């Protein structure tokens, strides 16, 4: 097994939760790993130390020429195996048309008939974290090929310390904050992936944490289309909160790496911060497909706290989350990060 294709061509958060699978493959097997991803996650794939090459998926709405070109690349890629961490009928048909010898995927959809190696998974039951489902597929692939798995460990993404220190100083000057004090990063946007706290809730939590950690520098991070929300939160929060926006995705990742604590809903940036093993506080609804367990970030043990609506509230009613109660739990836990 020399050339392995791994497919995770859905959202950023889903892609980040595939990084342990990439790490296990690379550590267990001397192979060349290609990732098939959508264009918007390509900059992240380029940062992954366990991905050797990237194929861009034009998506189901791509034009006929782009679709034909992707299939040609799959056919000429000389892949020994493909592991579809995300499976739908389009992905299954592409891998079958490409004639890849070993085609692995979860045995949970009708599309499984186009794969010749399947692993029974019931992801909709959310019985374990998403990244564990991904790892189970890789473990099955390795076992079938007589290869002992090497278990991955955090962090899954890191930057050179000297380069990051220079970047932190540069961003501190740009934002008008102190590079020497701890940074509390808060991401209020959701990308539509799950219900989230309101601007007022985020501002209230910031004010509580700022009172407990007066030296912390509050930075509201914002992706495309999220700057207005970030500025709304900053305007309601303690004096001195600033907004960091308009950063290319690799620099956005570097900014997250500069944080001493990252707070967000269940969205892509939370999973990027966790891959860096920056301590995270996450807010999740209790809908079965969106629980804190299913979408647990990649932090190492003890570096993540999860919150959700209380007992008796609607599963997706994030307005029922009491940020004062959250702060009471976060403050003693975060003291070693923000003091």
| Tens-digit pLDDT profile for residues 273-310 | 999 999 999 999 998 888 999 999 999 999 999 999 99
Residue that is written with structure tokens 């907004």 in the block: 243
Nearest to 55 by CA among 3, 114, 103, 93: 3
* Both tokens assigned to 146: 């007589």
Domain residue limits, the chain: 3-144, 162-338
Report the chain's C-alpha Rg in angstroms: 21
112 — pLDDT class (breaks 50, 70, 90): confident
The dihedral over CA atoms of 281, 283, 284, 286, expressed in degrees to the nearest 10, equals: 110
% helix / strand / coil in the chain, to the nearest 5?
45, 15, 40
49 — pLDDT class (breaks 50, 70, 90): very high
pLDDT at 109: 75
The count of other CB atoms within 10 Å of the CB of residue 332 is 9
Q: How far apart are CA 293 and CA 129, in angstroms?
A: 5
pLDDT at 171: 98
pLDDT at 72: 97
160 — pLDDT class (breaks 50, 70, 90): very high
Quote the pTM value. 0.96
Task: Give me the sign of the Cα torsion angle 140, 142, 143, 148.
Answer: negative
Q: Which architecture, in CATH terms, is 162-338? A: 3-Layer(aba) Sandwich (3.40)
pLDDT at 78: 96
Q: Which architecture, in CATH terms, is 3-144? A: 3-Layer(aba) Sandwich (3.40)
Enumerate residues 6+ apart whose C-beta is below 8 A from 198.
318, 319
162-338 has the same fold as 3-144: yes
Q: How far apart are CA 260 and CA 177, in angstroms?
A: 14
């Amino acid at each position: 097994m020399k050339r392995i294709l791994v497919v995770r061509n859905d959202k950023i958060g889903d892609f980040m939760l595939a990084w342990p699978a990439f790490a296990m493959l690379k550590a267990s097997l001397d192979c060349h790993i290609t990732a098939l991803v959508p264009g918007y996650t390509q900059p992240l794939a380029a940062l992954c130390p366990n991905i050797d090459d990237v194929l861009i998926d034009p998506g189901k709405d791509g034009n006929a020429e782009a679709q034909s070109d992707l299939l040609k690349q799959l056919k000429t890629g000389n892949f020994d195996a493909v592991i579809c961490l995300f499976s739908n009928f389009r992905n299954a048909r592409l891998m079958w048309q490409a004639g890849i010898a070993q085609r692995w995927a979860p045995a949970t959809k009708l599309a499984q008939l186009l794969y010749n190696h399947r692993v029974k998974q019931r992801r909709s039951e959310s019985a374990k974290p998403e990244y564990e489902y991904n790892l189970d597929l890789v473990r099955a692939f390795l076992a079938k090929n007589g290869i002992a798995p090497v278990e991955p460990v955090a962090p899954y993404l890191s930057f050179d310390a000297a380069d990051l220190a220079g970047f932190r100083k540069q961003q501190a000057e740009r934002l008008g904050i102190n590079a020497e004090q701890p940074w509390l990063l808060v991401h209020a946007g959701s990308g539509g992936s799950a219900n989230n706290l309101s601007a007022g809730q985020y501002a209230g939590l910031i004010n509580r944490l700022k009172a407990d950690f007066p030296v912390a520098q509050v930075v509201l991070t914002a992706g495309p289309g999220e700057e207005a929300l970030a500025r709304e939160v900053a305007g309601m929060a303690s004096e001195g909160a600033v907004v960091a926006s308009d950063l290319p995705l690799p620099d956005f990742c570097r900014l997250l790496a500069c944080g001493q604590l990252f707070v967000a809903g269940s969205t892509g940036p939370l999973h990027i911060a966790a891959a860096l093993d920056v301590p995270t506080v996450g807010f999740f609804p209790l809908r079965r497909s969106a629980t804190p367990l299913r979408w647990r970030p990649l932090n190492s043990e003890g570096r993540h706290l999860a919150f959700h609506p209380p007992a008796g509230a609607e599963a997706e009613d994030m307005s029922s989350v009491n940020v004062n109660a959250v702060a009471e739990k976060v403050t003693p836990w975060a003291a070693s990060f923000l003091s």
